[in-house]
Amino acid sequence: MSSDRLINAVAFTPDGQTVFSCTASIGNTYGSPTRQWDVRTGAFVREFPQHGRPIALSPDGAILATGGKGISLWDARTGQSFRKLSGYLKKTQSITFSADGRFVISGGSYGTINVWETATGRHLVTLFTFEQRRDDGTVADEWLAYHPDGFYDGSPGVDRFLAWRVGEELGFPSTLGAQLRRTDRIKSALTLSDGER
């Protein structure tokens, strides 16, 4: 393969026999589709039509995830797209799978992390951090985990960053927190039962 762009993402299958790669220009202004190669022969296998940066393979090598404004999931053996995950207004910056392959986790340009269930594409939670510089120069991050149904959990000081629009009014954690701050809902979203694995 030759390209005038940087190869900035690669992923190997667990057996080391196949590699996926994609290129992009500096700043990711121009990208190329993800390509699949046979490691033993160097032969080109197939091209995935969507611009792919970043890319990640599931732990078993069966699913290829490619980035963009959303994430596309592909059958890595056939090259067929089977699911799209949305959740970013700007480009996806990183993608990974959980060690057991049950979750797809990605980071985006707005500093958010989204978590999806791989098997269904269900959006489970969005994670945020709020960097706070103290007077002594140290940094302390506040964090927020937000459920698509409106529930949340977070660090002790995160409530000062939150407000909800309810009709024409603004609601704050002091009035809505008891109803919406639900650690149990966040935990259950990220703990799949045996039947969902």
Residues 61, 12 within the same domain: yes
Residues 14, 53 within the same domain: yes
Q: Which of 32-36, 87-91, 113-117 has the highest mean pLDDT?
A: 113-117
Residue 124 lies in a domain: no
Residue 103 lies in a domain: no
Residue 139 lies in a domain: yes
For residue 43, the enclosing domain spans 6-98
pLDDT, greater one: 147 or 138 = 147
Q: How many domains does the chain have?
A: 2
**Does 197 have pLDDT greater than 50?**
no
Residue 1 lies in a domain: no
Give the mean model confidence (pLDDT) for residues 66-90. 85
Residue 162 lies in a domain: yes
Residues 23, 92 within the same domain: yes
- pTM, to two decimals: 0.84
- Report how far apart, in Å, the C-alpha atoms of 113 and of each of 28, 126, 135, 145 are: 20, 6, 28, 9
Cβ–Cβ under 8 Å, residues 102 and 120: no
Residue 109 lies in a domain: no
Give the mean model confidence (pLDDT) for residues 79-108. 87
Give residues with Cβ within 8 angstroms of 93, minimum separation 6.
54, 67, 106, 107, 108, 109
Residue 141 lies in a domain: yes
Residues 81, 138 within the same domain: no
- Specify the pairing of strand 6-12 against strand 164-166: unpaired
Give residues with Cβ within 8 angstroms of 68, minimum separation 6.
50, 51, 52, 91, 92
pLDDT score, position 68 = 77
- Specify the pairing of strand 103-108 against strand 113-117: antiparallel
pLDDT one-digit tens code per residue, 44-77: 999 987 666 789 999 999 999 998 778 899 999 9
pLDDT, greater one: 51 or 20 = 20
Residue 192 lies in a domain: no
Cβ–Cβ under 8 Å, residues 39 and 20: no
**Does 34 have pLDDT greater than 80?**
yes
pLDDT, greater one: 68 or 97 = 97
pLDDT, greater one: 108 or 126 = 126
Helix (H, G, I), strand (E, B) or coil at 183: helix
Give the mean model confidence (pLDDT) for residues 136-164. 90
Tokens of 166: 């309810």
Reported confidence tier of residue 31, pLDDT bands at 50, 70, 90 = low
Residues 10, 89 within the same domain: yes
